[in-house]
Structure 1
Amino acid sequence: MPVHGFIDESVRDDHYLICVTVVEPAKLVPTRKELQHLLLPGERELHFRKEKPPRRRQLADRMKAMPVCARLYSATCTRKTEESARQACLFSAVTDLLGLRAHRLVLDTRDDRNAHDKQTLRRALGNRPSATEMTYEHLDSTAEPLLWLSDAIAWCHGAGGEWRRRIAPLVTTIIRP
């Protein structure tokens, strides 16, 4: 069955982490609705870095019951090598998504740095990207609630300890390209 992937990242100390949340097409609409119901009045998106610990716990507990799985890609980096670490993780993630027959990939926008991602995506998809049937786009996280899951999972995994344990049921794979 084809799937959809949603990518966001987290950087902690010397680790660059990409989270790909994988969702089956039939689960897209109900999962988006469930995420939107988690918003507080006036909120346009969920962003884990901005939440207080009690709210993070509540959100993580609700999210880990959602019908999704997450694949994490981690690379060591310095401030100067963050972009190359991201691109190594992204290349690995796209290769894996092709193996899962992904039809759509949505990445959280990074504005002017999206060009780096597009270069890596073209390289990963090869000379005949239409043969893969995978489309991709960068969107602002306010436009796609499923990006909120990737943000939360990446944040929790990067934070370690209690947070990593809370979201562990969603994480199926950890890859270090």
Structure 2
Amino acid sequence: MPAHAFVDESIRNDYLLSAAVVATGDLSVARGKLRELCKPGQRRLHMKDENDSRRREILSTLAGLGLQVYLYRTAIAGRPIRDSRDQCLEVLVGALLDLGVTRLVIESCSQDRRDEQVIQPILNRRAATGFVWLHSVPSADPLLWAADATAWAYGKGGDWRRRVECVVADVTQLP
């Protein structure tokens, strides 16, 4: 079944790239449920800005969306964070192609041009003609919030990590 993936990063003691994968038939319902969580005047959800009660509510909602999150981790000690991001992106894009993902949305940041330099050669090598990808601001697609929330909770550890275990399909630890 075709699916879309939504990607965000988290940086703590290591680098974590989070890809929330949603079947195309579930996109509108999942987006709607996440939008419902926004308070009046709030344009997006971002875990670092929420209190613990709201974080629990957001993670509980994620558990019922039918999405799967794939996490890619690597160390950042002793090297530029950009190198860690490149490494995770390379593995992520190949894995998404293998999963049958047809659309990739990455949260836009100051690294968009470099992301293109990493992703496009992979797509060229794999002759991935049916695969579309783009950068987007977080307020434009609520499913980017799912990637953010899962990365935040997994990276935080403890009870927060336990709350997202049901949506984490795989964690790939890279060297």
TM-score category, normalised to shorter length: over 0.9
In structure 2, distance between residues paired with 1:32 and 1:109: 18
2:74 equivalent in structure 1: 75
Could you say what the CA RMSD is over the residues aligned between the two structures, in angstroms? 1.3
Could you tell me how far 1:123 is from its partner in structure 2?
2.2
Which residue of 110, 113, 116 maps to 1:115? 113
Q: Indicate yes or no: 2:128 matched with 1:124.
A: no
Gaps of 5+ in 1: none
| Cα separation, partners in 2 of 1:115 and 1:154, compared to 1, 3 Å | same
| Cα separation, partners in 2 of 1:165 and 1:82, compared to 1, 3 Å | same
Could you tell me how far 1:133 is from its partner in structure 2?
0.9
Report if the CA contact (8 A) 1:5-1:21 is conserved: yes
Could you tell me how far 1:128 is from its partner in structure 2?
6.3
In structure 2, distance between residues paired with 1:62 and 1:128: 35
User: How high is the sequence identity, in percent, across the aligned residues?
Assistant: 35
Q: Indicate yes or no: 2:167 matched with 1:170.
A: yes
In structure 2, distance between residues paired with 1:124 and 1:48: 31
In structure 1, distance between residues paired with 2:63 and 2:82: 29
2:48 equivalent in structure 1: 49
2:141 equivalent in structure 1: 144
Q: Which stretch has the larger CA shift, 150-159 or 79-88?
A: 79-88
Could you tell me how far 1:80 is from its partner in structure 2?
4.6
Gaps of 5+ in 2: none
2:7 equivalent in structure 1: 7
Report if the CA contact (8 A) 1:60-1:152 is conserved: yes
What is the identity, as a one-letter code, of the residue corresponding to 1:63? L
Length-normalised TM-score, structure 2: 0.95
Report if the CA contact (8 A) 1:98-1:132 is conserved: no
| Cα separation, partners in 2 of 1:75 and 1:148, compared to 1, 3 Å | same
In structure 1, distance between residues paired with 2:21 and 2:72: 13
Deviations 1:126-168 (A, max 9, x none): 2464x44111000000001000000000000000001000011
Runs of 4 or more, structure 1, over 2 Å off, are 126-129
In structure 2, distance between residues paired with 1:123 and 1:67: 31
Look up the SS of the partner of 1:142 in the other structure: helix
In structure 2, distance between residues paired with 1:134 and 1:79: 34
Report if the CA contact (8 A) 2:33-2:61 is conserved: no
Report how many aligned residue pairs link the two structures.
174
What is the identity, as a one-letter code, of the residue corresponding to 1:12? R
What is the identity, as a one-letter code, of the residue corresponding to 2:134? E
In structure 1, distance between residues paired with 2:163 and 2:80: 30
